[in-house]
Amino acid sequence: MSYDKNNIFAKILRGEAKAEVVYENKDVLCFKDILPKAKIHVLIIPKREYLDIYDFSKNATDIEKQNIFEAFESIISFYKIQKSGCRIITNHGVDGRQEVPHLHFHLMAGGDTGSMTKNS
Ligand code: 5GP
């Protein structure tokens, strides 16, 4: 998979497609997933073009990396889920079943997100 400038998140970043933005900082945009898999389901994406977590880990600046974590903190505070918690995941490549070729973290919360060690 390679970066495709016409992916939907690139269009959202360019203002060519709409999204329900809940937070942004200099390097990061956070918006609601169009097909939420939890009561709260926010996508957290870098504003620069990074294909996946490997590309970002290898090539992003320290400030961009810090600002991803700043966004996690802000979203958790915004939804007041510091105590109840959340799940944050990123899908990478074919085996990770990544569908949109622009790095994104899924933050899911607002109820039990299910066990990752049992089939329930
Ligand atoms: P992936 O499988 O790549 O990790 O997740 C892609 C996510 O993007 C899915 O949860 C999907 O619902 C979401 N998504 C796909 N198209 C759009 C869109 O146009 N707008 C928003 N807000 N989310 C989208």
> Tens digit of pLDDT for each residue in 75-97?
999 999 999 999 999 999 999 99
- Residues forming beta bridges with residue 105, ordered by sequence position: 44
Q: Separation of 91 CA from ligand 1 center, angstroms?
A: 11
Regarding the beta carbon of 73 and ligand 1, being less than 6 Å apart is answered: no
In contact, 84 and 77? CB cutoff 8 Å: no
pTM of the entire predicted model: 0.97
**Torsion, CA 57, CA 62, CA 67, CA 70, rounded to 10:** 100
> Tens digit of pLDDT for each residue in 18-76?
999 999 999 999 999 999 999 999 999 999 999 999 999 999 999 999 999 999 999 99
Closest C-alpha residue for ligand 1 atom 3: 99
Burial label for 79, CB within 10 Å (0-12, 13-18, 19+), is middle
